[in-house]
Amino acid sequence: MPAYNSQFDLIRQSATVAMADRILALKAGGKKVVGLQVGDPDFETPPAVMDAALKAMQSGLTHYGPSRGDPDLRAAVAQKLFRDEGVSYNPDSEILITHGGIHAYYLAMQSILNPADDVLIPDPSWATHSNMVIMLRGNVIRVPAPAGNGFVPHFDSWLKALTPKTRVIVLNYPSNPTGAYPSREYLQKLQDFAAQHHLWIVSDEVYGSLYYEAKPTSAAAIEGAKERTLLVNSLSKSYAMTGWRVGFLAAPATVIDNALKAGQNSITCVAPFIQKAAAFALTDPAIQEVTANMRAAYGRRRELVIRLSHELECEKVKVIPPQGAFYFFLDLRALKMTSIEMCEKILDEVGVGLVPGSAFGEQGEGFIRMTIAASDEEVEAGFRKIIEWAEKQS
Ligand SMILES: Cc1ncc(COP(=O)(O)O)c(C=O)c1O
């Protein structure tokens, strides 16, 4: 046999996908499962956005479009970044439209990373942050972001992790899986650290508009940070548009020049009619109201879980209220089981689908991720079942 790319030996199969497969098999066998494992809004894409896509298709936008992205969408992204984050981007040179946030992250990393460069990634963190670096032959250094420090790294940990080969810091706030985000002062200190050591900051802000406390600060909005920050975002989570696959990278023009080449040579362009719908979604005032209602629903479910946790008073399940995103990272370390063991037992014994915390790194061991991107009834039923199950464990 010819040789294959051995980098993939270093990547584990996604625990989320493995769990989803197991749930599908159980459902096929007739078992009822409350699915609290997904990272996908339970809301429909606003119908007016679908109409905008259809209209664009009917107007003939069914061929290749500009590889940098539709000018209307790039202008809408620049407008959004100024409106929400207070940062000015030139839509002609500093914004690239991508195939969702994951592709923006890929292009960002491809644009700046050389083989064997070290990349600092907090632990826990979404598995793709590390896997992508490995695929590109970079070297991942995990920086502990323990529960005891609000799921952000102690500042010393960044210093300890730094090597002469470190080129990049990856941030994801609000975080998947913890919902945590740090203060502006923390980000300012990190930006000073990055400047001192000539590091890029890749900031994945796909949950940036989903927050329940003071608005999180974009990494690019910190003084002096824009020139070293590669901002990744998409419409997936904030506009319930995961299946549309549309996102963007905002970064210095020199980085975008590389990312554009990487995009041209991999996807050519994002479907033009989807880009028109995305531009409409980002700018239409009525759509902003629809998305505000979605955020309010997540907020209500978050409160529901917090209230239930007080009512049910289970010492074995520690509930840390998330500051943002739509997940609870439940602390079940008291049970002294692995996360995978717990998720398998909870699924088999009480029929609730979850994601093991260890899928996000060593710091996630003993935790389970429960989504609130599900109906109020499912969230309540699922959470009650988890507590009932935990109470029965010795
Ligand atoms: C932290 C994080 N970044 C990026 C993505 C990818 O989102 P998109 O659908 O925009 O590719 C996800 C999806 O779950 C995520 O959790």
394 residues of the chain, pLDDT tens digit each:
899 999 988 998 777 778 888 888 888 988 899 999 989 999 999 999 999 999 999 999 999 999 999 999 999 999 999 999 999 999 999 999 999 999 999 999 999 999 999 999 999 999 999 999 999 999 999 999 999 999 999 999 999 999 999 999 999 999 999 999 999 999 999 999 999 999 999 999 999 999 999 999 999 999 999 999 999 999 999 999 999 999 999 999 999 999 999 999 999 999 999 999 999 999 999 999 999 999 999 999 999 999 999 999 889 999 999 999 999 999 999 999 999 999 999 999 999 999 999 999 999 999 999 999 999 999 999 999 999 999 999 7
Q: 206 CA distance to ligand 1 centroid (A)?
A: 6
Q: How far is CA 77 from CA 70, 184, 192, 351, in A?
A: 11, 23, 27, 41
Q: 102 CA distance to ligand 1 centroid (A)?
A: 6
Domain 6-44+288-392, CATH homologous superfamily name and number: Aspartate Aminotransferase, domain 1 (3.90.1150.10)
Task: Yes or no: say if 228 and 199 are a contact pair by the CB < 8 Å rule.
Answer: yes
Nearest CA to ligand 1 atom 13: 39
Domain boundaries 47-284, corresponding CATH code = 3.40.640.10
Ligand 1 surroundings by CB, under 6 angstroms: 39, 100-102, 126, 172, 176, 204, 206, 234, 236, 242, 247
Q: 255 CA distance to ligand 1 centroid (A)?
A: 21
Could you give the count of Cα atoms lying within 13 Å of 242 in the half-sphere of its Cβ?
10
Q: Tell me whether the CATH fold assigned to 6-44+288-392 matches the one assigned to 47-284.
A: no
Quote the tokens at residue 32: 């009822």
Q: 177 CA distance to ligand 1 centroid (A)?
A: 11
Is the sign of the CA dihedral 178, 183, 186, 187 positive or negative? positive
Q: 101 CA distance to ligand 1 centroid (A)?
A: 5
Nearest CA to ligand 1 atom 1: 176
> Where are the domains positioned within the chain?
6-44+288-392, 47-284
What is the atom index within ligand 1 of the atom nearest the CA of 247? 10
pTM for this entry? 0.96
Report the Cα–Cα distance between both ends of the chain, in Å, rounded: 51
